[in-house]
A and B are shown apart, each in its own frame.
Chain A
Amino acid sequence: NAGVMQNPRHLVRRRGQEARLRCSPMKGHSHVYWYRQLPEEGLKFMVYLQKENIIDESGMPKERFSAEFPKEGPSILRIQQVVRGDSAAYFCASSPPNRGGLNTEAFFGQGTRLTVV
């Protein structure tokens, strides 16, 4: 069973371009989470999705950022018109449904390191 797959691992974009970050959850996992990590800072929650639904996007900036988790295919975090402040590591995690204490943890991908130049 492959782990959570994120691609690309490294992404360089010029200011004003779009960045698309992909996350394929582990097989059987219907919950996907996106986090942003800046140097010397912890993990900042961005969005929590289940298949075709956004459950909690309270951590997403109101503009330029969007996320989806379609019925088929990976989850996508999309950043439009990137600015230098968007440079960070973006991590995706997945988990199966909570079943009475079993399978309770989130599994993380290796992250995508976005650099805006």
Chain B
Amino acid sequence: AQSVTQLGSHVSVSEGALVLLRCNYSSSVPPYLFWYVQYPNQGLQLLLKYTTGATLVKGINGFEAEFKKSETSFHLTKPSAHMSDAAEYFCAVRNTGNQFYFGTGTSLTVIP
């Protein structure tokens, strides 16, 4: 069975600083991996995804993530945080049975 662990339920960074949100997964087969963002009172929208091929994937709003099979990780980064990045971020994995498993989320606060 798959599971997704997001280390740090709350992360605070200063505006302009590096954003690093951690995600580790457990999967017996190569998974499909996703990061979603949720703004207040909104649904989740896709930031980026990894399926196959290049392990460094770029998403919207300047975010990127790197799939590291040896570490079973898919950490999300952004070089310079903006105030508008404040939101809840969810890491997810999709298995071959078309089931999605989500982490518990990381709330990102950006300090002016």
Contact = CB atoms under 8 A, between A and B. Distances in A.
Interface residues of B, number: 24
Contact of A42 (B90, B98, B99): B90
Interface string B41-62: 1111110010110000000000
A116 interface: no
Nearest to A41: B104
A59 B44 CA distance: 19
A105 B46 contact: yes
B101 A45 contact: yes
Contact of A93 (B96, B100, B105): B100
Contact of B103 (A42, A104, A108): A42
A55 to B, nearest CB: 8
A101 B100 contact: no
A28 B107 CA distance: 33
A25 interface: no
Contact of B42 (A45, A98, A104, A110): A110
Interface of B: 32, 34, 36, 41-46, 49, 51-52, 90, 92, 94, 96, 98-105
